[in-house]
Amino acid sequence: MKGNSLLNYENRYLSKQGKVIWLSWTSFPVPERRLIYAIAKDITVKKQLEADRNALIRQMSGSIEKMRQSNYTVSHDLRSPVNNLFALIDLLDPMNPQSSESQEFLDLIRVSLCRLKVIFDRYLTGVDNEEVSAVAMESVFVPEIFKEVVFSIDTLIVSSEARISTDFSAWETVRFSRVFMYSILLNLITNAIKYRREGVGLKIEIETMWDGKGQQMVIRDNGIGFDMDAVDRAIFGFRKKFTDLPDSNGIGLYLVSSQIRALGGDIQLTSKKGEGSAFLLTF
């Protein structure tokens, strides 16, 4: 209408049969004759191919993100059991390797290595047997997972003199991912140990409960806590760090948040600097 040619203008139509058809128009005006010459090309197949391609790209992007998250999970979750092994090795007496005490520590190391292999095999089995875009949901017995976590970091718990109390009376079983549950408990417990207050005995409480939203779990500690005004919503961001500790990498809480939200749940933090933290998980 303005006297300009129009190239490759796409719009869609509904046929009498109810089928959506895409047309690509090329047109040019002849103002002196008050005419517009136009030709339309049916590009329905092309548009469908583009839609299929875009869907595939979205699927691949999601798969790549899940693979990246899986890599972070494996590398991060294996750190604590490995640190536990180093702590045991440090307790060995190099001057008397045959002593009963050294043999006891060697037995513990052997058990820890077996446990580490089980964890690693579980992740590998998950990668082999599951589609990358899906996570296996199953009935998870939380007290058992808790015992596995405590066993894998036993030396760290003892050396930090942490006191962990649990109350699973509200519920013990939840439909969730076993691997994710292990990772969540491992990260939140080791974080509580890592960020404990100097001179204050560390207390960690784990409790299950019900509310209008369904099954919930709260994990509390009396550690250094967070300044909620400062961390805002970034607390669960990737590589977001709020301390200067050399072992802080900003991945643990990101993994916890990603894992529970990936399966339709939620996580909320209540904390006050110098007074500890409480993480509320909704499944």
**pLDDT at 63 (0 to 100):** 58
Query: What is the residue whose two structure tokens read 């006191």?
Result: 163
233-237 contact pairs (CB < 8 A, 24+): 235/269, 236/267
Whole-angstrom distance, CA of residue 119 vs CA of residue 152 = 9
Q: 23 or 104, which is more confident?
A: 23
The listed range with the strongest mean pLDDT (14-18, 111-115, 252-256) is 14-18
Sheet holding 35-42, edge to edge: 6-14, 20-30, 35-42
pLDDT tier for residue 273 given thresholds of 50, 70 and 90: confident
**pLDDT at 244 (0 to 100):** 56
Among positive and negative, which fits the CA dihedral 200, 202, 203, 206? positive
- Residue 182, judged by CB atoms within 10 A of its CB (0-12, 13-18, 19+), counts as buried
**Rg (the chain; Cα; Å):** 28
Average pLDDT, the chain: 78
| 124-151: pLDDT as tens digits | 555 444 443 456 789 999 999 999 888 8
Question: Cα separations (Å) of 261 from 44, 52, 117?
Answer: 38, 27, 28
CATH code of the domain made up of 51-282: 3.30.565.10
Percent of the chain with pLDDT over 70: 64
Instruction: Give the residue ranges of DSSP H helices in 176-221.
Output: 178-194
Q: What tokens were used for 133? A: 């875009």
Q: 4 or 204, which is more confident?
A: 204
Whole-angstrom distance, CA of residue 179 vs CA of residue 100 = 36
**pLDDT at 206 (0 to 100):** 96
Contact of 50 with 58, CB cutoff 8 Å = no
- Specify the DSSP element, H or E, that contains 200: none
Whole-angstrom distance, CA of residue 140 vs CA of residue 173 = 5
Helix (H, G, I), strand (E, B) or coil at 231: helix
- Specify the DSSP element, H or E, that contains 24: strand 20-30
Contact of 30 with 45, CB cutoff 8 Å = no
**pLDDT at 133 (0 to 100):** 42
Question: Cα separations (Å) of 159 from 87, 181, 261, 277?
Answer: 9, 24, 33, 21
Predicted structure pTM score: 0.55
Q: How many CA atoms are closer than 13 Å to the CA of 88, on its beta-carbon side?
A: 24
Please give the full DSSP string across 51-76, using - where no structure is assigned.
HHHHHHHHHHHHHHHHHHHHHHHHHH
| 229-270: pLDDT as tens digits | 766 666 676 655 556 555 555 577 887 888 888 888 999 988
Q: Which of 21, 252, 145, 71 is nearest to 242 (CA)?
A: 252
pLDDT tier for residue 114 given thresholds of 50, 70 and 90: low
Instruction: Say whether pLDDT at 192 is over 80.
Output: yes
Q: 74 or 32, which is more confident?
A: 32
Instruction: Say whether pLDDT at 19 is over 60.
Output: yes
Whole-angstrom distance, CA of residue 193 vs CA of residue 179 = 21
Whole-angstrom distance, CA of residue 281 vs CA of residue 269 = 9
Instruction: Say whether pLDDT at 47 is over 70.
Output: yes
| 163-175: pLDDT as tens digits | 999 999 999 999 9
E runs forming strands in 77-224: 138-141, 163-167, 173-176, 203-211, 214-221
| 205-238: pLDDT as tens digits | 999 999 877 899 999 999 988 877 766 666 676 6
